[in-house]
Amino acid sequence: MLEIIELQITGNDSEKVKACLKQLFKQVQKDKDIMIKVYNKLDLDNDFSIHLTDNTNTLEQHGSALGQHLVSVLKEFGLVNHSMWIEKTTQ
């Protein structure tokens, strides 16, 4: 399962968000089943895309506990979109 959290910062909190994501990144690295990657839009420093990959293949309707936590923390900084994706097989 791939969980994507997109954030568009509406204020001047870019550095605060980066610090928050850096701290979270350190915490998540301890869990071998979850991989987190953070992307920044090429031409806009206030847009982030956070990708969570759960290797346990457990599907949760509204996202993982970590994803839900991220959404609740990040929504104070701007607009948040949260979606879950599953890989389709070609068979």
Report the CATH number at residue 58.
3.30.70.100
pLDDT for 34-69, tens place per residue?
Answer: 888 889 888 878 899 999 988 776 667 788 888 898
Residue 9 lies in a domain: yes
Q: Fill in the amino acid letter for 72.
A: S
Residue 91 lies in a domain: no
Q: What is the pTM of this model?
A: 0.84
Number of separate domains in the chain: 1
CA–CA dist 20, 90 (Å, integer): 38
pLDDT recorded at residue 84:
92
Q: Which helix (H) or strand (E) holds 47?
A: strand 47-54
What is the domain extent for residue 22? Answer: 2-85
Residue 90 lies in a domain: no
HSE, CB side, 13 Å, CA atoms: give it for residue 37. Answer: 7
Q: Is 28 in contact with 85 (CB distance < 8 Å)?
A: no
pLDDT recorded at residue 28:
73
* Ramachandran angles phi, psi of 36, nearest 5°: -125, 135
pLDDT recorded at residue 87:
81
